[in-house]
Structure 1
Amino acid sequence: MEQAEGNVEPTYLLGFRLGEKVALGGDSGRVLLASAAGVQPFGSSLRKFMTLVSLCITLHRSEFSTRYEEEDARRSLTAWARQIDQPAGHSPSWTAAFDGDLDVSESL
């Protein structure tokens, strides 16, 4: 998998998300998402990636009494994701996940 800066590093396939490859960079330790738009950061480290995944799963498993509560939770988790892992938390993929654009079971 080619990195954005043009260097190639060995990668290890972790799985798929909505048909796109999720891989661990062998040299950098970053988690990368390979999509039609190119390779983008999905986690600065495996630990940070798993934290973002946990936040996303927690959001989807939560039951909210009102739409306002859900929107508030989404805003809070988006802010946390961006603090936990700035490059990945600002990526279009994580933004879409926390905004609800990908609320299908296959996206988890």
Structure 2
Amino acid sequence: MPLKPIICIDFDGVLNNYNGYDGDNLGTPRPGAKEFLEKLSKKYIIIILSARRYSHIIRWLNEYDLWQYVADVTSFKPKNVVCFVDDRAIKFNGDYEEALRHINNFKTYWEE
């Protein structure tokens, strides 16, 4: 049986309620985060990407019953990923001028 494709999800601002770094406070899951992970896990291998401490993310995932949907947590960009889900991402479409416009006007959903 072939492996499922990999999807990489940023932790802060995607899975947790986040409005800026607050030390080791990881906050609570965003509404719908569990259902989001559950649906994705049926089709994808889920890897969480975060610069936060691995043990803190694992504890948080367990505390909110989310670890069951996640294959791994890493601080490194994984290989062979279908896509990244991130609240600070800009999709590069091959046009540098367009990318610069997006970068210069960028705000996360929680900064607007």
Taking structure 1 as the reference length, the TM-score comes to: 0.29
Whose Rg is larger?
Answer: 2
Specify which structure has the higher proportion of helix. Answer: 1
Specify which structure has the higher proportion of strand. Answer: 1
Higher relative contact order (CA 8 A, sep 6+): 2
